[in-house]
Structure 1
């Protein structure tokens, strides 16, 4: 179970399958199932090192959680989408399902590392085993899965793991789940043990904020200012949330995360 993207073993599915529209994140319009004009014949991106400068910031924050190489090399046995319209259509649809499975596996794997949630680890392992088995199904069976039901089952456990972990934080904890905090000045804020699931943090000033044991599952961090913020123990922080934000050498990160290359040193 490899939950980290390995682009060298993927047929650039993320450069073809999804649609995107001209915006601050993408310089052009691209229909679903159409190769990006920056895609070379060897499945490499011609502008990989200058994506942000050329208006393709959205590409730099996408994470398939390893679904791309799983679909390319295992589900389809090394057959790429150029081998026929039916192959392409099925492969692109399968990528969507596989990404759902791998994303859930990523979060659940983190939940297993939370010692405060040890009372539900056995339940989490059962769901991990179930999803891992489903990920090995042939494409036609994968496309029949009820992704919403699987996500609901996993989310119930993730919420429990979050609550058990955050309950160990002393003091009153903020509940800003789903809150609109776009552009808010929250520098130095104490968000220890806070619930920020699904919060809108677009352009939010979080300089020097303490996000220790805060749950930020699904929070939108585009252009959030994280300079000097403490994210070393933030719950369910994914790399793409960091890639979408702004930070610097003073931003504290845990060992599982990489400091984005566009952050100043």
Structure 2
């Protein structure tokens, strides 16, 4: 089974990890819907096999209507990549309900809405892949990131439950758990960590580098390669797994 001509949907597909995944799948022959809140960014990223769709994953109605439009245009989604997310640290005693809800609405609710709507069409096909982009924070606690860590743990719980619901069927559910990836999120977090820890931004970046066991940032293309492998022949028995991309054991 190849992915040539199959419809893939990548949320947060206009930049960073999402764009690397979208381009990798398009290069393999898929027709890829890339979603995000900023249409201009999506249109700039669009190219052969990449189709922009403005969609805010925190809005259930927009996710329903957006995916319905994508299905009408390109057929049922058979590769679903819930990737859209935010990463921001904040001590729990400084976390108000608005911050907590925004984190959950984006990282967890957004994955739930996206997977559910894609599954509506995928269930009627002979093959499907759901690959959530979680984080090492989905597998361990990261200091100063209670809301983010909880949201990523929840995403993994969702994937594991769905893998049990569909076990033995031609649809698999897995989560990829990267460490620190070389994206704009890392650059933004350098300033945030520096402020919280009382260090320079260069020192904050070094802290993130040292958290990856091999001492360097992971490239978005490394994450995309794992997604491609999970869509390739021979991956059929990989289901309900959390795949760490962190340069070593976390």
Normalized per residue, which structure has more helix?
2
Greater Rg, structure 1 or structure 2?
Answer: 1
Higher RCO (Cα < 8 Å, 6 or more apart)? 2
TM-score, structure 2 normalization: 0.26
TM-score, structure 1 normalization: 0.25
